[in-house]
């Protein structure tokens, strides 16, 4: 016996009532906001949404058929929907249905066609390029670092960005070397730090907290004293986060093989 507990619903914008999503589900599926695609999230975050139930007490096959026809009708009339596919796939209203399973070829093909031709705003690429190119990214210019050639003994005191330009090293490899993931890069290493982890013992920072004031120490010391998470504090030092547990970075200062570039 077929279970007639499915329904087809619209998600409408709170601002003007226009439809931006067509779905099929059962139970509370229409009200769930997680496990939605990024296009749905963008519209819902900007305009808000409410649920408009189109039809209920359907079998799953009938619900799928109605979902497909509604998506086709609305797209054909020029409505911009956030549905990635043309409908007719997914689990029985349960998010994560496909986790650990192989999607049918028909579903994959629908998703591929739906994404084909989508254009990303060129402004996004421009901003990303400005942030990462040249000397714009703070992680590559936060401090002057003493590098040493392990073959000739030559030394250089440069920012990571200038070091890569001068030696032809890749920034990703040089960054890994400074942070102890690589021992050397193009026969260069951080002076005095062979066999050690510069992230833990080489780079000192001047940290500030509104309750504790200024502190000069390494990342690992601050994490140990105040029970912070190293990945989050590292992002603060790299310029990827503003603060971690209320702690902010003022500058990278003098340490073994490193001095402030300010």
Model confidence pLDDT, tens digit, residues 5-49: 899 999 999 989 999 999 999 888 888 888 888 889 999 988 889
Kindly list the domain boundaries of the chain, sorted by start residue.
6-115, 199-256
DSSP per-residue codes, 29-75: GGG--SS--HHHHHHHHHH-EEEEEEEEEE-HHHHHHHHHHHHHHHH
Q: How confident is the model at residue 94 (pLDDT cuts 50, 70, 90)?
A: very low
The reported pLDDT for the residue numbered 101 is 65
Q: Which has the minimum average pLDDT: 13-27, 176-190, 239-253? A: 176-190
What are 159-174's pLDDT values in tens digits? 888 888 888 888 878 8
Angle (CA) 50-54-58 rounded to 5° is 125
| CATH code linked to domain 199-256 | 1.10.10.10
The CA distance from 42 to 205, in Å, is: 37
pLDDT, residue 257, reads 45
Q: How far, in Å, CA of 56 to CA of 59, rounded?
A: 9
Note the pLDDT of residue 132: 64
Contact 170, 178 (CB under 8 A): no
What is the distance in angstroms between the CA of the first residue and the CA of the last residue of the chain? 75
The torsion angles phi and psi of 251, rounded to 5 degrees, stand at -170, 160
Beta bridge partners of 249: 207
- Six-digit token pair at 246? 């209320």
Handedness of CA 112, 114, 117, 121 (dihedral sign): negative
Instruction: Report the alpha-carbon distance of residue 142 to residue 161 in Å, rounded.
Output: 10
Helix axes 171-178, 160-167, angle to 10 degrees: 130
The phi-psi region of residue 158 (left if phi > 0; otherwise alpha if psi is between -120 and 50; otherwise beta) is beta
Confidence of residue 192 (pLDDT cuts 50, 70, 90): low
Percent of the chain with pLDDT over 70: 80
User: Which residue, 234, 236, 247, is CA-closest to 207?
Assistant: 247
pLDDT tens by residue, 104-136: 888 888 878 877 877 777 887 777 777 666 555
Distance of CA 54 to the CA centre of its chain: 35
Give the integer Cα–Cα distance in Å for 38 and 210: 36
Beta bridge partners, 25, equal 7
Residue 251 has pLDDT above 60, yes or no: yes
Q: Which residues of 237-246 are buried (b: 16+ CB within 10 A; e: fewer)?
A: bbeeeebbee
pLDDT bracket for residue 4 (50, 70, 90): confident
């Amino acid at each position: 016996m077929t279970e007639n507990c499915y329904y087809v619903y619209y998600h409408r914008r709170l601002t003007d009532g226009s439809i931006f999503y067509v779905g099929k589900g059962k139970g509370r599926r229409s009200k769930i906001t997680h496990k939605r695609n990024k296009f749905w999230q963008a519209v819902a975050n900007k305009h808000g949404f409410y649920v408009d139930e189109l039809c209920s007490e359907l079998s799953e096959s009938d619900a799928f058929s109605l979902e497909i026809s509604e998506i086709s009708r609305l797209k054909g009339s020029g409505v911009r929907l956030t549905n990635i596919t043309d409908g007719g796939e997914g689990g029985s209203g349960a998010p994560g249905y496909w986790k650990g399973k192989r999607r049918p070829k028909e579903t994959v093909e629908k998703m591929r066609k739906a994404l084909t031709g989508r254009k990303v705003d060129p402004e996004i690429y421009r901003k990303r390029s400005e942030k990462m190119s040249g000397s714009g990214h703070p992680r590559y210019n936060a401090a002057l670092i003493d590098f040493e050639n392990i073959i000739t003994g030559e030394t250089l005191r440069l920012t990571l960005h200038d070091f890569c330009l001068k030696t032809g090293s890749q920034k990703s490899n040089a960054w890994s070397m400074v942070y102890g993931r690589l021992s050397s890069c193009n026969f260069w290493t951080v002076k005095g730090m062979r066999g050690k982890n510069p992230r833990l013992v080489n780079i000192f920072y001047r940290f500030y907290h509104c309750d504790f004031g200024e502190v000069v120490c390494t990342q690992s010391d601050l994490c140990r004293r105040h029970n912070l998470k190293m990945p989050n504090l590292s992002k603060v030092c790299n310029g990827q986060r503003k603060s971690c547990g209320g702690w902010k970075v003022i500058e990278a200062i003098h340490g073994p093989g490193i001095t402030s570039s300010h």
